[in-house]
Chain A
């Protein structure tokens, strides 16, 4: 299992479009990918789960990877977060 912590810098937070992109990237992997904010979690492969967290600019989130391809998923998603959010 791997995880990384990230503070959202995009002024709009994880709104619909980046949530969609995040889901798209997450679905490339088989491992379980969970996003947690303030104790509430959502499955990164489900758009309603992510949007339901209403992650805003400045929020600290933790993304957790668990499964076979967790290393590859970690690399790709951490790069995605830094670049887009």
Chain B
């Protein structure tokens, strides 16, 4: 699903954000990407999401070399990737249903089909009664569930979540993580960037630890080693 070969990413005038990162994530996996702030978690996410290109090395997403994907083809690649951010990135002047409908409208689905899918996904995240509300009238946990619904409504093969619970209390954190877990159970590959060690402990999944742009450890043993 995702393969990185000696990936290096450097921003001008800064220390390398990623240094010789090699990594493979299989289809259907649930992987935590962890490490302190500035470790390179978000940079790696942005590379996978084609928001940036690696300075050197190779990155394959769905078997395609991202560096060779034409800019005009990037949107079509992104339609197979759902993304969730710490700050939700919802449009405040659109209703919950309108926010969630966005990825389907981009794909050109018929309004009736959009409505059906939006209704179904909002039901699955427990927000069917909030469809007509505006994001700012919702709690943080609800807003993040809307963001997860938007990321999942297009049935993506890959779900990227960058600190999805960073702004949430423990109870809401578990609600959101359960949604990601459920998506993984339905076959979506999930990559979650977090520095919340309780999540790593609770969900016994593969953990890739980054520090100063390098992969320090990779695998379930990370918990036993107490890295996180």
Binding between chains A and B: no
Give chain B's interface residues, CB within 8 Å of chain A. Answer: none
> Which A residues are closer than 8 A to B by beta carbons?
none
